[in-house]
Amino acid sequence: MGDFRRLEAWQKSRELTADLNRLLPSGSLRSHPGMRAQILRAADSIPSNLAEGCAKNSRSELARFAETAYASAKELLSHLILCRDRGALSECDFDDLLARTDHVARLCFGLQRMGRKKA
């Protein structure tokens, strides 16, 4: 379907993942084992699914992978809320990450809808 690196959703999700790695260094969630790994797994899933969807030969396949990326973005939103509730993120970082994750989710949803339309 094309070069995934040209998708705004892929670019924004890649940047988000890099920033999460920076903001949540190893050990930052010591009192909540596994939370950092879950956050990064959900974040990594977004650009990965978009790239895989672009490698498929149909718009409907891209839509299916965009749907999975969208679900991962929503999972990430939930993890970020829990992380903030546990005091592992400052309110400023939380607000920024929440807005950016929501933006990525909307971009994924748009790709999903676009791929489901009849050509």
Tens of pLDDT, residues 16-25: 999 998 888 7
DSSP label at residue 87: T
Q: Report pLDDT for 12.
A: 98
- Bigger pLDDT: 71 or 34? 71
The pair of structure tokens assigned to 103 is: 């933006």
Q: Which residues contact 18 (CB under 8 A, 6 or more apart)?
A: none
Residue 43: predicted pLDDT? 98
Q: What is the pLDDT of residue 115?
A: 75
Rounded Cα–Cα distance for residues 46 and 109 (Å):
12
Cβ-contact 12, 50 below 8 angstroms: no
pLDDT band at 32 (very low <50, low <70, confident <90, very high): confident
Can you give the pLDDT at residue 118? 57
Please report the pLDDT score of residue 119 as a whole number.
47
The 3 state secondary structure assigned to 4-47 is HHHCHHHHHHHHHHHHHHHHCCCCCCCCCCCHHHHHHHHHHHHH
Residue 96 has pLDDT above 90, yes or no: yes
Q: Which of 80, 116, 108, 85 is nearest to 96 (CA)?
A: 80
- The yes-or-no verdict on residue 112 having pLDDT over 90 is yes
CB distance 89 to 23 below 8 Å: yes
pLDDT of residue 1: 65
